[in-house]
Structure 1
């Protein structure tokens, strides 16, 4: 039986995995989005479902000053002695920390800080009770992987940080994971940067502090200088299944255009791991990850397909929905109009480092249909509400209802760096349906008024919202938003009666 990569599509980078008996749990980075660090559950390594987030409270995840692609970097999840631990870095706040929980779905504890600097932290619980903490930093001994022993109850460093490996010479040695396998310590890292030169390398030692011997087969994973449809493969984590086989989760990109530009973000891929006779792992098909690969021997365990439409009739938002930084109090509600998501805008816009009224989800398919029904009667030209395809504050496409010269109009805005275009269309009183047809190379925007007539407003290229042009580490978010130009208490409410997300051509 075959499985298809990626196993988690859309903006889900830096995956880390652990196994508890017959269950697998995985986390990914979230950067400036809230809640932070989604937790996924699987029975077969191929089919995953989101079961919650590790960081659901502002006390755990302050993001008010987090710029685009700042915030939460590269989490690691581990399980030990009945506890789940998730360790990560808030580069816009407290630095390195971890939280813990008895259940992967949470709730998770308040932050436990670790004084060792750097990013991309990881943990190894050794057989003798010691807990080793790794991170990458440019420290007193140069750039590389540093390690200390910590007290897991408090995060206190019990030893000084020591450089344990600089890698094989590639730039940006990062994403360390230390494993104890057959009484040897294997240190696996990413090198080459999280772009087209990305690769995975490994070394081993009989001592957790080294010295480490580099694998003679390095890199054990890379797609550099290939024409494979999956690129930038790296930042991997290993897991052993209950049948004794080994697997890796890793990030990669799927650029739909040439030159290579990707807008869905870095996604989560799965690959088998084989071991050489001299005890070294090789990821995938001789260091390559393919779109179709042989599935694990675990019993297939698919989850129900999510519904296309969210009617916003539940008591809480489902786990697909995320906010841009910490949501401002009063900016959203499921209670003001039952059966609708209400957004109340403020002066905060999509262009700045702020917390606008914004509820979004990851764009996870090249081809899909997006739609929302909006009931909004703007009170002035500074008020607008609609849907956005958002990469960052300088790169986003918006289809919104606003006012011009005292008339309600529909606006298509395209913001690409310092360039901005706006087109306006007459829009009658009453609800309007906003639609987007996403294709691999372009987004096409439509709106439909209450009388049923559909109008194509225009389109924009996907590559203008790609990492290669917009910069950063995230992917496109499809969101509902509102702006009022005033305090939220004075804003006109925007009611979203439903939102559709329908994959096409899957």
Structure 2
């Protein structure tokens, strides 16, 4: 089935429609460039058209920015001929800020700070009088001037969800028919996650909760998609209603490990007695995905991301034509300053391969969760080796002599059968392909240690290339769904 509609680490989706075009953004955390922007005509097939935050003046993350910090929960809206993007930066005192653009593919403006607006998960909504309301997790609300960041009056507390439910967050405010609807996530972003909604006569309420709350939750079910929540509503040109939301696909035995992070899912919405009713996840024939990058363009495609920053000084396609060149800065994948360029792992089974020339340094192909949880195959100094970092433990799993340009590969294979309740979700295998065509599997590692349930945090796996010492060149990168 084609769900998730945007697989891999694409959480906290927010969507808006302009005419027959839909646009969607997601959280990006410690990765740069920040906030991926997608376009679709049918809500099922999405294409990344850019990233909203592409300049240090928009997004400043340093080596002190922890993994799973950075950019949280954007809301995307279109109003008065302009796109508005409001988001929270939880690093370096960034707080809440607004960006604007006339074209969602960019460029986006520098930030408009909202220094008086506390909290996370900000939302924007305009009423018929032109007032702009910013609602944040908690749930509280401010009247703001989105062009200047000025606030008016004190924040007002609103409906905060089911009594006793933790973490009321991800508020979105809508005018639909005669009512204002306030939709929130609650229960925490783990297995208890859900979506609830209330309605009232004005943006400020008072709000009455839907008697069928939560309107979406997979808690305490055997559904293959879990942790469903943090949703947004959108109406199609034909009057139909839809919900995008995050969820995870845990695998293996108990407690279940999800490795791709939180992904974006889609479900239809109907209305009964003035309340939204969420239908089953959309399904459609699935197609095999593949992507190959020869690094022929002067700029990297928008799917490529790096921890915290990416400068042309350390990462460029201009030093050697048709190659991606990385100049080392950090020493290993343990280092927050490592030069790493990757793409989100988007499929439960996949294979990634790259041709590396390590003649002037060392580097390789890595599966990254964070600085303390990653596996990689590294070439340099006449040797190729597989390295595993899990929490405080770091070890060279396997090594063998190898020289000259060679192909490194990583294969992720989803576990189809459980050996017992402790079975992991997948196996990650590392191979080297030498110039004479010889393929050697150096190691096969348990994938559970690169999962949210082990590593913690809010992110998922990213597969990519890195430089550990000196200068390393990569001729191409290939990613294939399946194993």
Bin of the TM-score, shorter chain as denominator length:
over 0.9
The answer on 1:292 being equivalent to 2:283 is yes
The answer on 1:316 being equivalent to 2:317 is no
Equivalent residue, structure 1, for 2:6: 8
CA displacement 1:307-353 (0-9 Å, x = unmatched): 6321111121111111111125511110111010001102353223x
Equivalent residue, structure 2, for 1:119: 120
Equivalent residue, structure 2, for 1:162: 156
Over the aligned positions, Cα root-mean-square deviation in angstroms equals: 1.7
Q: 1:238-317 residue pairs with structure 2 within 5 A? A: 238-259=233-254, 260-277=256-273, 279-285=274-280, 290=281, 292=283, 308-317=291-300
* Alpha-carbon distance in 1 for matches of 2:204, 2:140: 9
Equivalent residue, structure 1, for 2:397: 423
- SS of 1:469 mapped into structure 2: helix
Q: Is the 8 A contact 2:383 2:403 kept in 1?
A: no
Equivalent residue, structure 2, for 1:504: 482
* Alpha-carbon distance in 2 for matches of 1:230, 1:305: 20
Q: CA deviation at 1:469?
A: 0.4
The answer on 1:189 being equivalent to 2:172 is no
* Alpha-carbon distance in 2 for matches of 1:265, 1:153: 34
* Alpha-carbon distance in 2 for matches of 1:240, 1:221: 18
Instruction: Give the alignment partner of residue 202 of structure 2, picking from 207, 225, 232.
Output: 207
* Alpha-carbon distance in 2 for matches of 1:210, 1:283: 23
* Alpha-carbon distance in 2 for matches of 1:386, 1:195: 33
Equivalent residue, structure 2, for 1:176: 171
* Alpha-carbon distance in 2 for matches of 1:273, 1:424: 52
Q: CA deviation at 1:168?
A: 0.7
The answer on 1:81 being equivalent to 2:80 is yes
- SS of 1:376 mapped into structure 2: strand
Q: CA deviation at 1:97?
A: 0.4
Q: CA deviation at 1:68?
A: 0.6
* Alpha-carbon distance in 1 for matches of 2:398, 2:481: 29
Q: What are the ranges of 5 or more consecutive residues in structure 2 without an aligned counterpart?
A: 415-425
Q: CA deviation at 1:438?
A: 1.0
CA displacement 1:401-432 (0-9 Å, x = unmatched): 133xxxx2111011111122213433333101
- SS of 1:452 mapped into structure 2: coil
* Alpha-carbon distance in 1 for matches of 2:126, 2:288: 36
- SS of 1:207 mapped into structure 2: coil
* Alpha-carbon distance in 1 for matches of 2:134, 2:332: 40
Q: CA deviation at 1:205?
A: 0.8
Instruction: Give the alignment partner of residue 470 of structure 1, picking from 434, 449, 455.
Output: 455
* Alpha-carbon distance in 2 for matches of 1:399, 1:56: 29
Instruction: Give the alignment partner of residue 151 of structure 1, picking from 145, 155, 159.
Output: 145
Q: What are the ranges of 5 or more consecutive residues in structure 1 without an aligned counterpart?
A: 137-143, 296-301, 485-490
* Alpha-carbon distance in 1 for matches of 2:289, 2:480: 10
Q: 1:477-496 residue pairs with structure 2 within 5 A? A: 477-484=462-469, 491=470, 493-496=471-474
Give me the TM-score of the superposition, normalised by structure 2: 0.94
* Alpha-carbon distance in 1 for matches of 2:232, 2:153: 25
- SS of 1:211 mapped into structure 2: coil
Instruction: Give the alignment partner of residue 363 of structure 1, picking from 345, 356, 375.
Output: 345
